Amino acid sequence: MWKFIVVVVLATSCSPLYVPSTRNVPLFREQGEFQGSVYLTTGIDAQLAYAISDNIALMANGSFLSNKISEPEDYTRSNRFVEGGLGFYNVAKNFRTELFAGFGAGKGTSFSQYYFFTPSFGQKDLVATGTYNRIFIQPSIGTNNRNFNLAFSPRISIVDFTEFSSNDNNPSNATVTIKPDEKPRLFIEPALTGKVPIAGNLQGVFQLGLAVPLSGDVYFDYVPLQFSLGIQLNTGSLRTRVY
């Protein structure tokens, strides 16, 4: 167990630029359900989801990170990302399935080496800010129990960094902005999500997720492994049908 915790801490404590958001896995049962979740992960993630019919649902997600770094340079590592999605869900006696698709945009600042800044600042690691968007498709299958529920979500994401800027962390330098000639990168981001009732409409939620690039060399650093722990308000948890 301790070895697992150490691996998770090491994977989430470095400073990659791309931080995959916690997967929003509502596992709705019927129209009118609303869920609001807050996770502590590589930063803080907030999620909303609402079932507008017995099969159609909406979601909105946000990821926020601000962390003062002192080594090897003083700077603020940050990540801001928001996205929305539309989905279809279905309920059976023993399991639930859903499929969401959506789009988001964000910006992150980190310390790494980017080849396209070499002509301006030389070949070295530096503080840079990247602006990106992401398209995702997220299928999920989960159990349908009154108490503990588990879901598997093999999310597929297309990540496109459209712009980078840096002044080499030196206010006296002019900021250099570059639109890299790079194609979007494809990731598979599978996750296992667990939900357990706490009290009333509150649930405890946890998630373990991976990020695995599937296309080309990735020219930006990313978080490969994440553990998320949070709390969820589910207005349907006391009244929806459970078999």
Across the chain, where does the E strand assignment appear?
34-41, 43-51, 56-69, 75-91, 95-113, 125-143, 149-166, 176-178, 185-199, 202-210, 212-213, 225-234
Quote the CA–CA distance of 83 and 184 in Å, as a whole number. 17
Given pLDDT bands bounded at 50, 70 and 90, which one contains residue 90? very high
Q: Is the whole-model pTM more than 0.85?
A: yes
Cross-strand partners of 228: 207
- CB distance 45 to 232 below 8 Å: no
Quote the CA–CA distance of 63 and 82 in Å, as a whole number. 7
Quote the CA–CA distance of 67 and 152 in Å, as a whole number. 30
Give the model confidence (pLDDT) of 117-168 as tens digits.
999 999 999 999 999 999 999 999 999 998 899 999 999 999 999 999 999 9
* Mean pLDDT on 89-106: 96
- Per-residue confidence (pLDDT) for residue 81, from 0 to 100: 97
Residue 2 in tokens:
């301790």
Q: With 90 as the cut, is the pLDDT of residue 115 above it?
A: yes
Give the model confidence (pLDDT) of 9-32 as tens digits.
434 445 789 999 999 999 999 999
* Cβ neighbour number for residue 81 with a 10 Å cutoff: 23
- Per-residue confidence (pLDDT) for residue 237, from 0 to 100: 53
